[in-house]
Structure 1
Amino acid sequence: MSILTFLLLGVLWTFWKGGPLKELGLLALATGILGQLLGLYDASTVLESFEETQGFIASQGILAGGLKVSLTPTLYGLLIYILSLMLRAVNAWRHA
């Protein structure tokens, strides 16, 4: 999440000084998706180790909660991307 916050600051800085807004937004979106995939991979590894050692079967509530938590970086990255597109449109309008 801190990487995404740095990318958000980069988008705001790029809007102020000029530069590749859309590309930074896309990088934030890709970073968010990567964060979700890494979180899901770690969660599946933990669930697999519990199942092997303790015979633990995850309930639907636990799995749904894990999916909800794993969506946080993706949503944050998507919001940064949408913000970068909006700021890019403002820049185009301002410099037209």
Structure 2
Amino acid sequence: MLDRIQEGGPFFMWPIVIVFIILVGLFVKQLITKGDKAHTITLLSNISLFILSWGILGSVIGLIEAFDAIDSMQNVSQGMMAGGLKVAFLCTVFALVTFIFGRLFILILNLKK
């Protein structure tokens, strides 16, 4: 797991991991306390949408860097191309997983209203 985070670029990947932990913490806190669910749901929604955008931004920047490297090399094997694309999409995958969990938490909180 840590290898994938480093491989995907720590600048974009670590915030995704931290936000995932925050989402889980907010969800658990809301389940334990009897506070205002609407505020927590709004917060979960905004945070999950932000992190999805963050992951896509990381992937786009990764693709641009990969294509720059390919452009400068002129001769690129299929394996090297596939490896660069895999690394570029790691941010999106992690962000999508975080987004899906955030949406699942919202669904559960809405069902508990």
TM-score normalized with structure 2 length: 0.71
On the 8 A contact 2:51/2:99 being kept in 1, the answer is yes
Output the amino acid matched with 1:83.
Answer: F
Q: Deviations over 1:18-62 (max 9, x none)?
A: 6211211111111111111111111122222333xxxxx111221
Between the aligned partners of 2:23 and 2:47, the Cα distance in structure 1 is 6
Question: Aligned pairs, how many?
Answer: 90
Question: Structure 2 stretches of 5 or more lacking a match?
Answer: 1-12, 31-36
Runs of 4+ with deviation above 4 angstroms = none
Question: Structure 1 stretches of 5 or more lacking a match?
Answer: 52-56
The one of 85, 89, 94 aligned to 2:103: 85
Match of 2:94? 76
Between the aligned partners of 1:26 and 1:38, the Cα distance in structure 2 is 19
SS of 2:76's partner is: coil
Between the aligned partners of 2:77 and 2:90, the Cα distance in structure 1 is 21
C-alpha RMSD of the superposition = 1.5
- The farther-off stretch of 73-82 and 3-12 is 3-12
TM-score normalized with structure 1 length: 0.83
Match of 2:61? 38
